[in-house]
Amino acid sequence: MRKMQAPVGAGVPALVLSALLAVGLLPESAPAAGAGQAAPSFSAHELDGSATLSLGAYKGKVVFLDFWASWCGPCQTAMPLIESLRNEFPADQFQVLAVNIDENPAKAKAFLETRKVKIGYPSVSDPEGRLPAIYGLKTMPTSYLIDRNGVIRSVHAGFRASDMDGLRAEIRALLGKPPVPAAADAKR
């Protein structure tokens, strides 16, 4: 399991959050949100500050909730693959929602502006680290696959590109779609 790390210069709150997550010293009142549990509800400002988004607004859709930071190497690797995954499923049935935990939202915005692959899914900003505490994050990145009823079906700690096929199959199952034959999968 990869531990959450922040590089030098990431900011004191990010370093403190990283240290607390790495050694498992989150408040006792914040047990890890796990498979089979209702996803903790939240509202947060979009990264660009234009609106407030609520997880509850996506009830009825399968949601991939992804926690990321600009200083997180695996997060950077994951983003274009998550964007590709988002485009594979109907928008009226599947939603990616990202939670950025950078202390300075401007760093996250600048990071997204420099990406070769533009990210089309919304990202909310949580510079205080409130949502990682509510979800009980221990590793960065961490993502949650949430069913149409708001129940967490799986938790993905860390990121490996090799996990994408399994994630894709989980999403298809939650959407009630038949599995894609291996030969068709290889053509992607």
CATH number of the domain encompassing residue 132: 3.40.30.10
What local confidence, expressed as pLDDT, does residue 31 receive?
55
pLDDT of residue 17: 47
| Three state DSSP letters for 66-109 | EEECCCCHHHHHHHHHHHHHHHHCCCCCEEEEEEECCCCHHHHH
Tokens describing residue 179: 């599995």
Q: Is residue 183 in some structural domain?
A: no
- 4 in any annotated domain: no
Quick check: is 127 in a domain? Answer: yes
**Residue at 19 is within a domain:** no
Low-confidence ranges of the chain (pLDDT < 70): 1-32, 177-188
> pTM here?
0.78
What is the structure's pLDDT at 117?
A: 74
- pLDDT at residue 181, rounded to an integer: 58
Residue 154 lies in a domain: yes
The count of structural domains within the chain is: 1
Please give the residue range of the domain that contains residue 73: 33-176
**Within-domain flag for 48:** yes
Question: What pLDDT score does 155 carry?
Answer: 94
